[in-house]
Amino acid sequence: MIRIRVIHASKLLVILAAAVLAAAVAILAFRAAAGVRAASGFPGGAAVQAAFSFFQPPPMEFELPGEDEHTDRSVWVAPERLEAEADPAVRSARPRVLIYHTHTHEAYAQTPDDPYPETEPWRTEDQAHSVVRVGAELASLLEARGFEVTHDVTDHEYPRLNTAYARSLDTLMSYGDQPFDLRIDLHRDAWDSTMAECALVGGRRTAQLMMLVGNGGDYEVKPDYAANLAFAARLTDALNALAEGLCRPVLVKNGRYNQHVGTPSLLIEAGHNLNTLGEALAAMPYLADALDGLLKAA
């Protein structure tokens, strides 16, 4: 006769809980030992840690949904010439411009004579070699042309890159109602096969520029998209009049990019990650001249 032992649900739960607890203790002990072995060169240490990585607790920080101009695929490229119906900018004898960087660590291709420490490929905390250096160059050039410039170098990337726009919005809001004539979020683009390696301006390799405008997407508070687009089109035309091929067509994306804070506001891509810092810096005099023509009173 075969006897079947019936285990009540409550007892079964207790047994299962005890088994899970015992397994967890064994795994923790094994992971600790594997960690010691890995640190001492044990060849299987990394594989052991990877195999049990799913037991690691999730990050404590709650990740808010953010914007990223490199991953948002809802795009529209404006035609080469996009005429503005009206001038969305106010000309001033001493225009006020705010330059900041949502993605502060974006950097350029390394060169043997001017290396920098990377946090990951084409990114660095060294602001002398990141897009922040390009912002400093633009600020200096605009000041030499009579502009009043605020260059905010706040690092917005920590603790998580995908929430950088929330922190750069805090930075923008910290300026209150200060009457800036233009707000520029200066970035470095990510190269893809549709882009030129660079522009040749007077025989010199010069990084291309591009204006990105957000249409507001699903945000309740939207930017003045039409005015920003009109200004971006005029700035693109002005740049290409100064140096043919320097500026790529305006890119419109399904986002906001903090451009609701004031008008005009632009996200400007200064070159891409295969450009050198020198090539990005070479584009800044043309950008300063174009802005001088659009914002400064005659």
Determine the 3-state secondary structure of 37 from DSSP.
helix
Q: What number is the average pLDDT over the span 81-89?
A: 56
DSSP one-letter string for 144-205: HTT-EEEE------SS-GGGHHHHHHHHHHTTTT---SEEEEEEEEPP-TTS-S-EEETTEE
- pTM (2 decimals)? 0.75
Select the more confidently predicted residue: 29 or 244. 244
Q: What is the pLDDT of residue 85?
A: 52
Q: What number is the average pLDDT over the span 159-179?
A: 93
Select the more confidently predicted residue: 83 or 96. 96
pLDDT at 62 over 80: no
Q: Report the range of poorest mean pLDDT among 58-67, 212-221, 267-276.
A: 58-67
Domain 75-295: state its class.
alpha beta
Render the burial of 72-108: b for 16+ CB within 10 Å, e for the rest: eeeeeebeeeeebeeebbeeeeebbbbbbbbbbbbbb
Q: Report the range of poorest mean pLDDT among 58-72, 78-92, 103-117, 125-139.
A: 58-72
Residue 139 CA to residue 147 CA, distance in Å, equals: 9
pLDDT at 161 over 70: yes
**Residue 284's pLDDT band (boundaries 50, 70, 90)?**
very high
Other CB atoms within 10 A of residue 195 CB: 17
Q: What is the pLDDT of residue 23?
A: 58
